[in-house]
Structure 1
Amino acid sequence: MKNIVLCLSAALLLVACGSSKQVTDTEIGLRTVDIVDENSVKNPEIKWLGDVPGTNKRFDRSFENAPPLIPHSLEGLIPITAESNMCVTCHMPEVAKDAGTLPVPKSHLTDLRTGKDLGGQLSESRFNCTQCHVAQADVKPLKKNNFKADFRYKDSNESSNLLDVLNQGI
């Protein structure tokens, strides 16, 4: 009986594999180009939104604790390195209130591997701001999306409580 089930399973697998349509690399993802030919990739023109810091409308977060978008130009601010990070000159908590900017959240001032509070110092793993934060852009979505964020707290669309959520545990 066991051999019959095994043979039937193998036969079904062969039929399924033999009748399936092969997917080409141009059908994978949203680029629709040969994935091994990077020379044929054309980046779309993007109109970045934002001017001088502090003068632009901020977009709400996409979902709770999502990294906020950067509402200003990055000209002269990048590249960001561990030795040179212009973002922290305006976004560290002790400066942000007077500068009228969003302060980095507590999660950026904590070593998330150990849970240790770094006493107001930016975590070494959080220096590369543009790894998570991107500039606001005037672009059309590649795919229709009807996702609606469900924020648990009134100000969650404007601020982060990630460290509090992580400390709640599972």
Structure 2
Amino acid sequence: MKLGKLTLSLFTAALIATISFAETKIIKDESIGLRKDNLYTEDKVVSDETKYKTDPAGASTKIERAFENAPPMIPHDVEGMFIITSDNNQCTACHDPAIAASMGATPIPKSHYTSFREAVELSKDGNLQRDGKAVANSSDLKSVVKPLETLSNARFNCSACHAPQSDSANVPKNNFTPEFRSTELNGKSNLIDVIGEGVK
């Protein structure tokens, strides 16, 4: 037994010595970032001009989703459509589920017409309470899935997740290939059906 421990100790010491004396590869500053230039100066750095797509809504080509249930990117011109408020949201004029198909638009998914917020309120002393009883801490909060007739107050600001795209020649190569559980999920969301996956 002692011989085995001694052999293991000697092997470990030899391994550490080999690693310590191994040739160390030096990485230059220019190799760290995506722009392949000196990170300590901006003298030579010129970014591409931002050129948002100018195709009108309805005439643009949909952009494939980056991954399953990813917020779809905006493929059309958005001039005059911002600022979005809860009372003035021009996105719903085409993307409302009741008319999206006739407009050739991606419909707003059911998850946006659902409240996932816990039914709690503030007591007079400023603490959270549920059914008149104090909620001790945030781990006592439970998500409640409640379908809504209107767009959720947490989801009205479309541009928080959906963004127009700029044509750019200076974009780093992306080798990521998404995998979808079904081909139809590249064009629509099933988040409402799978939102609880992996949650216990």
For the criterion TM > 0.5, the same-fold answer is yes
Shift of 1:145: 3.1
Unaligned runs of 5+ in 1: 1-25, 36-40
Supply the distance in 1 between the matched residues of 2:61 and 2:157 (Cα, whole angstroms): 23
- Quick one: structure 1 residues 55 and 31, their matched pair in 2 at CA, closer, same or farther if it must change by over 3 Å? same
Q: Is 1:145 aligned to residue 175 of structure 2?
A: yes
Shift of 1:144: 4.4
TM (norm. structure 2) is 0.61
The answer to whether the 8 Å contact 2:74/2:165 transfers is yes
Supply the distance in 2 between the matched residues of 1:130 and 1:74 (Cα, whole angstroms): 10
2:107 is aligned to: 103
Which structure is higher in helix share? 1
Aligned partner of 2:155 among 109, 126, 129: 126
Shift of 1:53: 0.7
Give the greater-gyration-radius structure (CA): 2
Aligned residues: 167
Aligned partner of 2:91 among 74, 87, 91: 87
Which SS does the other structure have where 1:81 is aligned? coil
2:185 is aligned to: 156
Aligned partner of 1:117 among 135, 142, 146: 146
- Quick one: structure 1 residues 49 and 74, their matched pair in 2 at CA, closer, same or farther if it must change by over 3 Å? same
TM (norm. structure 1) is 0.70
1:55 is aligned to: 59
Supply the distance in 1 between the matched residues of 2:85 and 2:94 (Cα, whole angstroms): 16
**Cα RMSD, aligned residues only:** 3.6
Shift of 1:48: 1.7
The answer to whether the 8 Å contact 1:109/1:121 transfers is yes
- Quick one: structure 1 residues 68 and 144, their matched pair in 2 at CA, closer, same or farther if it must change by over 3 Å? closer
